[in-house]
Structure 1
Amino acid sequence: MSSVLFNSIGCILMTLASYIASLQVFRKFKKSWLNPLYTGTALLIILLLLGNIPLSVYQKGSSLFELLLQLSVVSFAVPLYKEWPLMKRHLKKIFSGVFVGTSLGIFSVYIMSQVFHFNQEIMASLIPRSVTLPVALTVSDGLGGTTAFTVFFVLFSGLFSVMMGPNLLKWLGINSKAAKGLAMGTSAQMLGASRSLMWGEEEGAMGCIAMTTSAIILSLFIPILLLLL
């Protein structure tokens, strides 16, 4: 019992230390590619390798974070409630934009799977790559995907979108606050919403709304996707 407790405390402290250290680096240099979500993960992997800690031991010891991640899905209702006046003003724009973005994301996975001959497991892991991680894991599990693949695809998609998105929007001449926030929130989840907030309050609010709405829309697509896979 004491050994299990020690492992759990050690894994939790190691995870927190990795995140806090990475957060300090991010705040100092303010580079999108130094987001603590990625650098913290890399640091944690290094610590596991140096400490010769098996992945199964770490997963068991840090199961508290997995529980908290699942519970965090409930909090997605908060931005919708807080930004309801703004949402009412742009209701058609929000749902049409996010619906098209989510649908194109799913369609692109289908096209890639046909071109590169992905199996069902890879397809199921790829489909939720553009929604926030807690929802992506639930959707992937429901479709028969692999958690490890889904985490990688979500993190890579978010990092790529937040690095390339602002330049792409500028190149396309998109200056609408609502459109910029919706694009970043739909494509880069929480990272995109955070990046949108750097532009302004309205962009950040639209990013949060897009992140939440895209998760809801993808969840509603599950019955259809189950028939296709």
Structure 2
Amino acid sequence: MTNFIVNIFFCMSITFVCYLISLKLYRKYKKSWLNPLYTASILLILLLLVLPIQGESYREGSFIFNQLLQLAVVSLAVPLYKQWSFLKKNFKKICTGVICGTALGLIAVLGMSQIFHLPEQTRASLIPRSVTLPIALTVSRDLGGLTSTTVIFVIISALISLTIGPKLLKRFGVRSKSAMGLAMGTSAQMLGANRSLVWGEEEGAMGSIAMTTSALFLSVFVPILAYISHL
């Protein structure tokens, strides 16, 4: 029991230290690719390679973060509640944008899986890569995918969207506040919603709603698709 408690304390400590270092770097240089979500992960990987600690030991010691991540699923209802009047006012616009964006992401994964003949487990891990992590892990697990693979691709997808998304919107002349928020929230999840909030209140509201509704859409649609495919 003592070793277990020490392991938890140690794993949580190095996680917090890596995050604080990453946060300091991000605040100093203000670069999207230095987001603490990614730099902290890289620092943790390097530490695990250097320190005499096994990956399984770290996973057991950091189980509390997994529990908090599951609780985060429930918290997704908060932005919907806060923006309920805004959601009703722009219902058609939001549904069209989010459903089209999420569906295209799903079609892209299925299409690439067919082209490159990916194993079924890998495909199941990639299907939810465009939605926020708590929902993505649940969907991946239900489909029989590897959650570790899902985490990697969700992070990579969000990083790419956060880095090139604003540039693409500017290049194609997208000036609609609603469209910008919906695009970033659907493609880059929480990071995209945060970026949208920097642009303005309407963009931020749309980004937050897009992040939540895209996760709800995928969590409802994918099990139905999986059931139909097995008939």
Which whole-Å deviations, capped at 9, do the CAs of 1:124-167 have from their partners, x for residues lacking one?
Answer: 01110010001000000000100111001100000000111101
Question: How do 1:84-103 and structure 2 match up within 5 A?
Answer: 84-103=84-103
Q: Which residue identity is paired with 1:164? A: I
Which residue number in structure 2 is paired with residue 49 of structure 1?
49
Matched position secondary structure for 2:76: helix
1:139 aligns with 2:139: yes
- Provide the rounded CA distance (Å) in 2 between the counterparts of 1:33 and 1:223: 33
- Provide the rounded CA distance (Å) in 2 between the counterparts of 1:174 and 1:88: 23
Q: TM-score, normalised by structure 2?
A: 0.97
1:113 aligns with 2:113: yes
Which residue number in structure 2 is paired with residue 173 of structure 1?
173
1:215 aligns with 2:215: yes
Which residue number in structure 1 is paired with residue 194 of structure 2?
194
- Provide the rounded CA distance (Å) in 2 between the counterparts of 1:224 and 1:85: 29
- Provide the rounded CA distance (Å) in 2 between the counterparts of 1:223 and 1:73: 17
Which residue number in structure 1 is paired with residue 83 of structure 2?
83
Q: Which residue identity is paired with 1:172? A: F
Q: Which residue identity is paired with 2:55? A: L
Matched position secondary structure for 1:210: helix
- Provide the rounded CA distance (Å) in 2 between the counterparts of 1:191 and 1:223: 26
Matched position secondary structure for 2:173: coil
How far residue 46 of structure 1 moved from its aligned partner, in angstroms, is 1.2
Q: Which residue identity is paired with 1:195? A: R
Q: Which residue identity is paired with 2:61? A: G
Structure 2 unaligned residues grouped into runs of 5+: none
Q: Percent identity?
A: 59
Length, aligned pairs only = 229
Matched position secondary structure for 1:128: coil
